[in-house]
Amino acid sequence: MTEKGIMKEVTIYTDGACSGNPGPGGWAAVLKYGNTRRELSGGEPNTTNNRMELLAVIYGLEALKEPCRVTLRTDSQYIARAINEKWITAWRGMGWKRKDGELKNADLWQRLDKLLIVHSVDFEWVKGHSDNEENKRCDELAVAESRKYAI
């Protein structure tokens, strides 16, 4: 928070990539605060696209040093809908399960849920591979990370 108790406003762009599903994957986040811009990325040798999308969001939020007001732009409808349509609230209420059984990526949803208590986050869905330069950059970084694990 700033001196006046007002939360800093940050924009985070995220993306995940996977070559095969499962397969080698990568994630990326671009954080913007005022004139400051930071890129984060990483990957795993055997994962899924949804796990990489979630990790991009998680690592982006974990990089913030204090509680912030965040506009998070993702091309993952899976994530945007889970938050905006309150699926995550239902999953929490059902012990991190779905009505019809297992919740995939429950470990990551729980991790994200804790971060949503710290930060005030508005999730916005953006069309992937469109004219959004930061989304394109996230895609480039995530794909590059996934290629590091390709055999």
Q: What is the pLDDT of residue 82?
A: 98
* 122 assigned to active site: no
Residue 2 lies in a domain: no
Residue 104 lies in a domain: yes
pLDDT band, very low/low/confident/very high, at 150 (cuts 50, 70, 90): confident
* 100 assigned to active site: no
Domains of the chain: total: 1
* 107 assigned to active site: no
pLDDT in tens, 93-129: 999 999 999 999 999 999 999 999 999 999 999 987 7
Residue 80 lies in a domain: yes
pLDDT band, very low/low/confident/very high, at 27 (cuts 50, 70, 90): very high
Q: How far is CA 140 from CA 40, 48, 50, 78, in A?
A: 12, 17, 17, 20
| Mean pLDDT of all residues in 40-46 | 97
Q: What is the pLDDT of residue 147?
A: 96
The span from the CA of 146 to the CA of 46, in Å, is: 10
pLDDT in tens, 8-19: 999 999 999 999
pLDDT band, very low/low/confident/very high, at 3 (cuts 50, 70, 90): low
Residue 127 lies in a domain: yes
Alpha-carbon torsion angle 58, 63, 64, 70, nearest 10: -40
Pick the more confident residue, 20 or 61: 61
Set 23, 25, 43, 75: catalytic member: 75
- The pTM of the full predicted model, rounded to 2 decimals, is 0.94
* 139 assigned to active site: yes
3: how many CB neighbours lie within 10 A of its CB? 5
Residue 39 lies in a domain: yes
Phi-psi sector, 86: left (phi>0), alpha (psi -120 to 50), beta: left
21: how many CB neighbours lie within 10 A of its CB? 12
What are residue 41's DSSP bridge partners? Answer: 28
Q: What is the pLDDT of residue 4?
A: 61
Set 15, 44, 134, 145: catalytic member: 15
107: how many CB neighbours lie within 10 A of its CB? 12
Residue 3 lies in a domain: no
Set 9, 107, 129, 133: catalytic member: 129
Set 53, 60, 119, 145: catalytic member: 53
Q: What is the pLDDT of residue 130?
A: 74
* 16 assigned to active site: yes
Residue 1 lies in a domain: no
The span from the CA of 49 to the CA of 27, in Å, is: 9
Domain carrying residue 126: 8-148
* 53 assigned to active site: yes
pLDDT in tens, 49-93: 999 999 999 999 999 999 999 999 999 999 999 999 999 999 999
Domain at 46, CATH number: 3.30.420.10
